[in-house]
Structure formats: C-alpha cells, structure tokens
C-alpha cells in the first residue's frame, strides 16, 4: 500500500512540475522573427465579413422563429 501511495505522489509531483519546467526551458530560447517582405492583402475585408456575419445571424433568427407552425401528430 505504501508503494502505491509513493508512486501516486511521484506521478502527481511530475505532473505538477512539468509545465513549469517546460516554461523555463522555453524562456531560455530566443524567438527569432522572420523578415516581412510585403504588406498583407487582407485589408478592408472586415466590414464585408461583419455584414455577412450579421446576415447569417438574422437569417438564423428568422428560420428559428418561423418554425412554430408545426401541428401535433396525435389528435
């Protein structure tokens, strides 16, 4: 019984310590950024995407609200 408790405690300690150890190992490595050659072409699409999203939400509300005319199967 003592061996099971010791094994469980060691496993719990390893799971607790491993994220901190991984973070410390990552902090030692310096991140290098890649040079940027040109600007992004995704500019100006935010309004179009917002309008499409709003249209999708409105369409979903209309479809959900319109489906209340179902008649019961049993009489």
Q: pLDDT digit string (tens) for 3-43?
A: 888 888 888 888 787 777 777 666 556 666 778 777 766 66
**pLDDT grade, residue 67 (50/70/90)?**
low
More confident of the two residues 42 and 53: 53
pTM for this one? Answer: 0.36
More confident of the two residues 25 and 60: 60
| Residue 29 CB-density burial (10 A; 0-12 exposed, 13-18 middle, 19+ buried) | exposed
DSSP 18-70: HHHHHHHHHHHSPP-PPPP-S--S-TT-HHHHHHHHHHHHHHHHHHHHHTT-P
Amino acid 55: pLDDT: 95
């Amino acid at each position: 019984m003592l061996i099971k408790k010791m094994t469980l405690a060691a496993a719990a300690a390893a799971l607790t310590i491993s994220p901190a150890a991984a973070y410390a190992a990552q902090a030692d490595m310096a991140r290098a950024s890649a040079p940027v050659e040109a600007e992004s072409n995704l500019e100006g699409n935010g309004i179009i995407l917002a309008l499409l999203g709003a249209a999708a939400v409105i369409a979903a509300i209309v479809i959900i609200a319109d489906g209340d005319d179902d008649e019961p199967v049993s009489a």
